[in-house]
């Protein structure tokens, strides 16, 4: 493992140099990796492993037509590499449990009987294990329980792999029944295309993940954008101007500079007016949102967020209500303006 200094804190990071693909193939040479679920993470992880030459099969509920048909379209062959959930779980030695959190609770009785001694149950999220009192997901004691959690959506996992860059992932071992759980975990982490892997626990992963999704990554980001856009519009700015100053400049320019060199470098390479204003207003925004983040983390840690997720997503009309919420967002003026702005981006500067 490589020891990396993260601002004064030393962490042990596993890179492809320490754990190359050749070692992953040696560790997994006798394993059958059964990917259960073909929704968000399932396609990306299974396709990456297949492309890397590992023995992978997919388990998907045939009644879920979209997922089954998508798997067939991606080259998984019914009866050969594509099976029902139960049959795939029976055939697999490493069971990747990649259905949604609510579905993990629902189909657990179908999967558990096939978790026989020596197998490994793999997650990409600590949700079901950490909140087992709510999900009922309690693995038998004679199997490995492991996790590799890519820090990005399935789309990013696949896209980064195809670009040759990989995506960063956290990893954890919850239960080591075979004495080989860590080795299996790291091997699968490399197999799915991780750029590097950093250690965590199931609890720490789900706490940080739920906080991040509701916070900076999605909830807070969308909320802050909406607040700024509406403020500009209320003061007479056009939709195009308000959207460009709120979203387009962030996503097409500034965030790329942050990605490449860090926030301080981005600040140093902006105008002095922007730089000074940002530094002056930064602590005001931090003070405003810090209480919200504390409330959010407490809600995650208490299990209140989990209960709300499981209760709402398990309802028979959840998909309809979700689509209505997403349509409301899509039809809002800000994101309608965004669609117009995106359509105006030059497709090829050389033309």
Tokens of 294: 């504390």
Catalytic residue among 125, 158, 184, 214: 125
Beta-carbon contacts of 96 under 8 Å, excluding residues fewer than 6 positions away, are 33, 34, 35, 36, 42, 45, 46, 122, 124, 188
CA 267 → CA 62, 110, 228, 260, 272, distances in Å? 52, 53, 20, 13, 9
Cβ atoms 147, 125 nearer than 8 A: yes
Is 125 one of the annotated active-site residues of the chain? Answer: yes
Tokens of 32: 């059958």
- Which among 162, 192, 150 is positioned nearest to 35, based on CA atoms? 192
Distance CA 112, CA 232 (A): 54
Distance CA 8, CA 24 (A): 31
The strands making up 144-150's β-sheet, listed across from edge to edge, are 2-6, 9-15, 194-199, 167-175, 144-150, 120-123, 94-97, 33-36, 56-59, 82-83
- Burial tier of 163 (Cβ tally within 10 Å: 0-12, 13-18, 19+): exposed
Q: Give catalytic residue positions.
A: 125
């Amino acid at each position: 493992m490589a020891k990396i200094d993260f601002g004064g804190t030393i962490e042990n990071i596993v890179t492809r140099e320490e754990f190359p693909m050749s070692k992953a193939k040696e560790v997994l040479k006798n394993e059958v990796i059964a990917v259960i679920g073909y929704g968000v993470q399932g396609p990306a992880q299974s396709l990456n492993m297949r492309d890397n030459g590992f023995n992978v099969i997919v388990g998907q509920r045939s009644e879920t037509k979209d997922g089954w048909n998508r798997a067939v379209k991606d080259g998984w062959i019914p009866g050969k590499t594509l099976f029902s959930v139960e049959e795939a779980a029976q055939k697999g030695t490493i069971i990747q449990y990649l259905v949604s959190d609510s579905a993990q609770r629902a189909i657990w009785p179908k999967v558990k009987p096939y978790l026989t001694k020596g197998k490994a149950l793999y997650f990409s999220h600590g949700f079901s294990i950490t909140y087992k009192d709510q999900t009922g997901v309690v693995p038998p004691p004679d199997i490995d329980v492991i996790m590799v959690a890519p820090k990005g959506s399935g789309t990013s996992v696949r896209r980064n792999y195809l670009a040759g860059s990989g995506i960063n992932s956290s990893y954890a071992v919850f239960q080591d029944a075979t004495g080989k759980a860590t080795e299996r975990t790291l091997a699968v982490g490399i197999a799915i295309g991780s750029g590097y892997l950093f250690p965590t626990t199931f609890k720490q992963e789900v706490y940080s993940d739920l906080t991040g999704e509701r916070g900076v990554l999605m909830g807070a980001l969308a909320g802050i954008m909406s607040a700024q856009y509406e403020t500009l519009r209320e003061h007479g700015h056009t939709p195009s101007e308000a959207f460009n100053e709120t979203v387009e400049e962030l996503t097409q320019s500034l965030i790329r500079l942050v990605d490449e060199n860090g926030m301080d470098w981005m600040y140093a390479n902006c105008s002095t007016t922007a730089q000074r204003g940002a530094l002056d207003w930064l602590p005001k925004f931090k003070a405003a949102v810090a209480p919200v983040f504390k409330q959010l983390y407490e809600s995650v840690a208490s299990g209140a967020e989990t209960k709300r997720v499981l209760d709402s997503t398990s309802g028979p009309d959840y998909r309809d209500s979700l689509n209505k919420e997403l349509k409301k967002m899509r039809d809002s003026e800000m994101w309608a303006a965004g669609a117009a702005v995106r359509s105006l981006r030059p497709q090829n500067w050389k033309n």
